[in-house]
Structure 1
Amino acid sequence: MPFTPFHMGPGILLKAILQSSFSLMVFGWTQIVMDLQPLWVMVRGHGHIHGFTHTFIGACLIAVFSCLTGKYLSEIGLRVIGVSKANNPVHISWHAAMMSAFVGSVSHVALDALMHADVEPFYPISVDNPWLGVISVSLLHKLCLYSGLVGGGMFYVVQWRVKRNY
C-alpha cells in the first residue's frame, strides 16, 4: 500500500488505546520512510518496488532511524501546528518514539505482505510471502479504514472525558 493513508488506520486505533505512550506522528513518519525506497524505484522506472525496506530486518533498521529522527521532527511539528506551546511543551518519550517506530515499520511490512506479491517479509531466511492473499485486498482496506474511524472516535471520547474531569 505505498503512499496511501490506509497504514494510518491501525496507528490511530493504537493511539486511542495507548494515548501518550504512542506517538501517531512518529508512526506516520515511519510510514513515509518505509515507502521512500518504493518511491525511488518508481521514479527510476526499474528495480524491486518492495525491496529490502519491506523485510522485517529492513523494517527494524528503518524503525531505529525513524525513532531517532521522528522524535525530534514530531516535537518540532507539534510546536509548528500549535499543539505544543512554549509554556506547555509536548515531549515524546524515547519509549513512545521507539515503540511507535517499531510498530509502524513492522505493521507496514505485515500489511503490505497481505497484498503485494513482491514483498519478502522473512528475507534472507525465505523469499516466500506466506501471508499473500490471506485476506482480500478489499477486506484489508476496510479493516484499515474502520480501525482508523473507531480509533479516531475512541481518541476524542477519551480526550473529552479527560477535559470534562478537569
Structure 2
Amino acid sequence: MPFTPVHMGPGLLIKALLQGSFSLMVFGWTQIVMDVQPLWVMIVGHGHLHGFSHTIIGSSLIAIFAALTGKYLSEFGLRLLGIAKPAQPIIIAWWVAFLSAFIGSYSHVGLDAIMHGDVQPAYPLTLDNPLLGMISVSTLHKLCLYSGMLGAVIFYAVQWHTRKKHY
C-alpha cells in the first residue's frame, strides 16, 4: 500500500462486524508500526523496503509490540477524546488488543504482498510471494476503499439501532 491509511478500509469493516471485540485504534497503531521499517529505508536510501517487518515472523513480533503499547496509547486517546471516562479502569481488554494487532499486522502483510514484489511473507522458509499480482493494484485500492465505506455504514447503522433500542 502506498499509504498506511489505505489499510484502514478493511479495518473499518472488521470493526463494524466485530464491534466491541475489535479495537480500530490498536489496528491503526499496528499499521503505523508495520510501516516504520519501509519509512526508515526510504529516509536512509538503502535496505530492503519491505523486509523482515513484512514477513509472518516479523509481523507477529510487531503485533505483540503493537498490542502491548497500543492498548495503553488507545485508552489514553479514548480518554483524551472524551469517549471514555477517566476513572474507567479497563477500556480495551487484552484479548481485544492482541486480536486487533494480529489482524492488523497479518492483513498488512497480505495486502502489501498483493502489490509489492519485494514482500516475502514466508521468509525464511521461502522467498516466493504467491499473493503478488493476485488482483490488480487498482482493484486492491478499490476493495480497501469500498470495504471502509461499507464498514462505516454498517458501524453507524448498528450504533444508531443500538441507541434507538435504548430510548
TM-score where L is the length of structure 2: 0.96
Corresponding residue of 2:23: 23
Aligned pair 1:54/2:87, yes or no? Answer: no
Render the CA deviation track for 1:80-101: whole Å, top value 9, x for unaligned. 1111123667600111100000
For 1:94 and 1:66, the matched residues in 2 are separated by 12
SS at match of 2:144: helix
Q: Please, what is the CA RMSD of the aligned residues? A: 1.2
Aligned pair 1:161/2:161, yes or no? Answer: yes
Corresponding residue of 2:101: 101
Identity of aligned pairs, percent? Answer: 66
Contact 1:38–1:49 under 8 Å retained in 2: yes
TM-score where L is the length of structure 1: 0.97
- Note the 1:4-153 alignment, pairs <5 A: 4-86=4-86, 91-153=91-153
Render the CA deviation track for 1:62-83: whole Å, top value 9, x for unaligned. 0000000000000000111111
SS at match of 2:130: coil
For 1:48 and 1:87, the matched residues in 2 are separated by 45
Equivalent position amino acid for 1:104 in 2: G
Contact 1:83–1:90 under 8 Å retained in 2: no
For 1:87 and 1:45, the matched residues in 2 are separated by 46
For 2:44 and 2:33, the matched residues in 1 are separated by 18
For 1:161 and 1:89, the matched residues in 2 are separated by 27
For 1:45 and 1:80, the matched residues in 2 are separated by 37
SS at match of 1:129: coil
Unaligned runs of 5+ in 2: none
